[in-house]
Amino acid sequence: MRIIPAIDLIDGKCVRLSKGDYATQKTYNEHPLEVAKAFEDHGIEYLHLVDLDGAKSEHIVNHRALETIAAKTSLKIDFGGGLKSDEDLRIAFESGANQITGGSIAVKQPEVFEKWITKYGSEKIILGADVQDNRIATNGWLETSEHKLVDFIQSYQNKGIQYVICTDISKDGMLQGPAFELYEDLLQKQSQIKLIASGGISIFEELPKLGNLGCEGTIIGKAIYENRIALKDLEHFILSDHE
């Protein structure tokens, strides 16, 4: 299972929110590159980079930070937050993103999102399925749609999507453990998807459990920043996975 630390960006700084609420913003580092380099130094290969300013303004904002991290580390970056147009995507990929994540756009402008899957291929486009009470949420989680989680993912699986980041909003940033039951249920119904678990990771012991469920990757945020999970432990986990 891939370990994918998260860096969330506001004003170019590394921050975390709780349940996606901007009022709960906590800044951890003013230099995201330092954080990314620390991940790389511990054998981590992947990064989930979220443009929270972009999510609010509905177009890419923090592409300079993406460009810097991509240029100065070898991390494979998936980038999301506010990607709404072909131009946003062009900027993201030209700035060094390996993959992009589309959430709200997949709900609100499915024809645009489908075009991206066709143009860039399913290796490059990740479906962001942010869920609240089994419904897909959009616009930085400020709105809830009528789409049910399993049906939503199924519809995009039929259109070629392979990678899905599923975030249980009620768990995100709360350090109370991930949505094990949700992921187990999802993987039983849709065993073909490459499911990336996101939200709620609080202790190291949860990681092997997610791996055993069949998650392809897991995104870890606040647990790293609050020193609940040491980068050294993640390094050992990655090494043992590669053996």
Sequence-ordered alpha helix ranges (H) in 95-179: 104-108, 110-120, 149-157
**30 CB contacts (<8 Å, ≥6 apart)?**
12, 13, 14
DSSP, collapsed to helix, strand or coil, labels residue 19 as coil
**138 CB contacts (<8 Å, ≥6 apart)?**
103, 104, 107, 108, 130, 144, 145
233 is annotated as an active-site residue: no
Tokens of residue 220, six digits = 């870890």
130 is annotated as an active-site residue: yes
Q: Measured between alpha carbons, how far is 60 from 234 in angstroms, rounded to an integer?
A: 30
Q: Which of 51, 130, 168, 172 is catalytic?
A: 130
Catalytic residue IDs: 8, 130
